[in-house]
Structures are given as C-alpha cells and as structure tokens.
Copies of this chain bind each other. A is one copy, B any other.
C-alpha cells in the first residue's frame, strides 16, 4: 500500500515518516495491516529525509488539484493530512490560511471522493477550534467557537471531513492535537511557538522570550506521543468512531509557571533563568482563547494516550533531540 503525508517536510511529518518506515506496515482500506511499499512526502519544500527506498519526495502546492490528483491513486490506502498554515500566520494572512487550511483540505477530500476507493484519511486539528466562554473542562459535546481564523478554518475542515466520511467518500478521522511541546528546531509563526521555545532554547543555551504570563494554562502533548496517536488514530476502526469522526487527544494541563518549574527541576536554575518575560498582547489573546483541559475519556477508550507529566515531556525532548544530555554552556 501507499501512504501519503501532506506537510511531509515538516517536523511532525518527518517524525511520522520515520516511525511508519520503522513499523513497515499500516492498516489499509480493508482494515488489515499491509506492508508500506511507498511513502509519499508532499510539501512546498523538498523533504530532506528519511533516506529510504520506500520514500518518494514530492514538492507541490497542496491547494492545486493536479498535485493531489497526481499523488493520490487507488493504491493510496492511508493519508495523513498535516499541512497547515499555523495560527499566527493564518491570522496575519487571511487568504493564505483559507487557501491551505480550508480549501486544500476540501480538495484532498474531493480527490479521494473522485477516486472512489475510500482511503483512510486523518486530519489533524487543534485546540484553536474552541474559544469564547468555555467550561473549565472541555467535553466532546462542547460547542466549537473559534476566536482565530486558524481555528475557524480547522473547524470548517473538520465539518467537511465528517460529512465526506458520513457519505462514504473517505474513511475519515480528525484528531484534535493539544499544543505540541517540545518541538525541535526554530521558532515558527504559530501563536503557541513559545510553548516549545521556552524549553528548547534554554536547554540549548539560548535565551527565550515568553510572551504570555506565567499563569497562562496550556494543554500539551509531546511529539513522541503525538506520533503514536497519529498512527493509532489512522488505524481506529471506523465503526468505533460512531457519529463523530473527531477525537480530542489527551494532553497535560500545565501553567507556564509549572512548565518553567519542571524545566528548573530537570535542568537547573541556570537553564530556567534564560527565559525573558515580555508580554505580547496578540499572542496572549489567541492562546488565552484556547481551552487548557478537556475530557479525554473518548480518546482513552479508542486507545489514544498522552504524556504522564510535563517533566516527562521535557525528559523526552532531551532524550529524542539532545541525545539524552543537556549541553553545558
């Protein structure tokens, strides 16, 4: 079987690719695990890896139908649609956000519909679909009320996937991801970028700016657990999903102060002292509209699990990205 990852050059796409290649198989359209013979990594820039003969690197604009038509055929049994314009950028460039987060998602569903072979399609969505006056704990039955264009676009894509799945055009599922922390690499234009930066930069000897107050509460998932959830999510039997194809993934609920305390405990005061506090109203407004905690019983029932604590998340970052050691500075 073929597998397609959109956003395949991105951080999650790359990690997912490595894990899929290591496992070597995935559930196909018939519900049986099959060998992955081709793994297509689509992105606007060429994916730099993994170096494996099953990998096919493709560069293209996901909002162009011809690109998707070229890459999705009746052997494409599973699709992971990760490509997105992040929250801060979607707020700054409305049209670009609409084009990638909403239109490209619809196009992908439409190309699958035209093919007619009902592939497994997994969309990633986000805490940002929630907002407004939220209950303390968000339930599956809590109404979406996005307070950002990113959230509105993701919520729209969720609705489309659910309807395309209900009609039998795709075997779809949406996983709403907590904020991913700790991401490796550089800061990005996501409003939540700091949720990785305030851990990653200090650990690698760099200063970091925290644009929100210490009492800001976040809902976090490590990259490692996120990848496990993406694969398990793709393999859930559609019957188990019932009348909604959307699942809220489990996270760890922590305040920024608690994150810094965990960093201090794991890496010491000198590392934690590299954080500079400098409020950014735009970021606070977006991040503050997201829920910090949601009921995860549905995810748990479906076999999707998160991290045990934020300290575990920090340690996983050190293990996965720093070779298990905190660099000395």
Contact = CB atoms under 8 A, between A and B. Distances in A.
Interface of A: 94, 131-133, 135, 140-147, 149, 152-153, 155-156, 159-160, 162-163, 166-167, 242-244
A167 B131 contact: no
A94 B159 contact: no
Nearest to A163: B152
Contact of A167 (B94, B140, B143): B94
Contacts of A159: 144, 146, 152, 155-156, 159
| Copies of this chain present | 2
B146 A163 contact: yes
17 contacts: A94-B167, A131-B243, A132-B242, A141-B142, A142-B143, A143-B144, A144-B144, A144-B159, A145-B243, A147-B166, A147-B243, A149-B163, A152-B159, A152-B163, A156-B156, A156-B160, A159-B159
B145 A244 contact: yes
Residue of A142, A160, A242 contacting most chain B CB atoms (<10 Å): A160
Contacts of A160: 152, 156
B132 A244 contact: yes
Contacts of A147: 166, 243
A244 B167 CA distance: 29
